[in-house]
Every structure is written in structure tokens, then in C-alpha cells.
Amino acid sequence: MRHAFHQQLDDLIVGIADMCGAAGQAMEAATQALLQADLLLAEQVITDHELIVQKARTTEEQALTVLALQAPVAGDLRAVVSALKNIADVDRMAALALHVAKLTRRRHPEKVLPEEVNGYFTEMGRIAVDMGSNVKQVVLSEDTHRAEQLADDDDDMDNLHRHLFTVLMDREWKHGVAAAVDVTLLGRYYERFADHAVEIGRRVIFSATGESA
């Protein structure tokens, strides 16, 4: 029975790790679409999002099945509930990549971003993609070192996000309010993406060690 439980929990974890990978890839493609005003790529992210939603649903059903069949208690129960929360976070990460793609599509054939802030979003995108790949590894391996890396990446993301606001708020900003509104929303999408990745990392490490990352 315990063996069956651990097998099912492992399957669940692999499912969540796959979702993390998919969310990271979605953000990678969405960022490229954003930077290049690439409509086809944006459409691809929007279409593929349905696959992640579907995966979230089946992974959640797996978690419910484990609860129903194994009736885990104590640490085992917490591990499954933690998995349920991770599914919600990664689902949200994918939704944020979707938002980036949708804004890209809405402004097409215009670029959403003024040239001046391209560098910020290139870098925020790079960090987000790294975090997607790191959080996948943390979920699979409970690697505390990588979980710390997630927190460091989140700090970098927050710094970029703050700098971005100083660029926006500067009197030298010449791109008007409409562009500033888009940049504000996009900045928030990347920042929230990172927050959810950190949240998953923290939960995995806490689950594994009983200590906060």
C-alpha cells in the first residue's frame, strides 16, 4: 500500500514537473513573440495553453485519486496537498505566459514594447525561462541548491521590475501613456511568474526538509 502510494506520488510529481517545463517554454515563446511582434508564435502559445490547462486538470485528478485510494496521513497527506497547490501555481504561471502572448497579438503588427525597454524584457524573459527550468528540477529532485537559486533569480527579477518602473516614471519617457500601461502590465506578468515559481520551490523544500528555503 505504501509502495503504491509512493509510486502514485512520483507520477504526480513527474506530471507537475512536466507542467513547470511547459510553463517555462510558454514564457520563452511568449517573450520571443513579444520582442519580435511575432504573431504566429503568439498564436502558438495561445493554442498550446489549452494543453497545459488539460494537463493541470488530469494531474489534479491524479492527486484526488491518490487521496481517495490511499487516504494518506501526516507527511504523505501534506505531500499530496502540496502537489495540489503546486498545480495551481504552475497553472497560473502558464496563464501569465498566455497574457504576454495575448497582449502581443492585440497590438500586432505594432510592437508592444518601445525599443528602450526591450533589454529589460529580454532579461526578465531569460530569468523567467531559467526559473521554469529550475523549478522543474526542484520538483523532480528536491534540490535545495536550485531552490535557493530560484530565490536569487526572483531577487533579480524584482530588481529589474523596479528599474523598469524608474524608466517608466522618468520625465525622459517619450513613448506616451498607452505604451507605459502595456509595459506596466507586462512587468507585472513576469514578476508574478517568478513569484509563483518561488512559491513552488519553497513548498517543495519545506515538504522535503520541514525547513523554509
Question: Which residues bind to a second copy, rule: CB under 8 A?
Answer: 64, 67-68, 71, 73-74, 77-78, 81, 84-85, 88, 165, 168-169, 173, 176-178, 180-181, 184-185, 188
C-beta of 130: minimal distance to a second copy in Å? 25
Report the residue number, 46 or 63, with the smaller CB distance to a second copy.
Answer: 63
76, three cell numbers:
504523505
C-alpha 9: how far from chain center: 22
C-beta of 38: minimal distance to a second copy in Å? 24
Report the residue number, 40 or 169, with the smaller CB distance to a second copy.
Answer: 169
C-beta of 71: minimal distance to a second copy in Å? 4
Quote the radius of gyration of the chain (alpha carbons, Å): 19
Task: Compute the distance between CA of residue 69 and CA of residue 14 in angstroms, rounded to an integer.
Answer: 19
Task: Compute the distance between CA of residue 81 and CA of residue 156 in angstroms, rounded to an integer.
Answer: 30
Report the residue number, 14 or 181, with the smaller CB distance to a second copy.
Answer: 181
C-beta of 75: minimal distance to a second copy in Å? 11
Report the residue number, 29 or 117, with the smaller CB distance to a second copy.
Answer: 117
C-beta of 191: minimal distance to a second copy in Å? 11
Cα angle at 138 between 87 and 143, to 5 degrees? Answer: 150
Closest of 92, 103, 110 to residue 31, by C-alpha? 103
Report the residue number, 150 or 179, with the smaller CB distance to a second copy.
Answer: 179
Query: What is the CB neighbour count within 10 angstroms for residue 7?
Result: 11
Check: CB of residue 127 under 8 Å from CB of residue 160.
yes
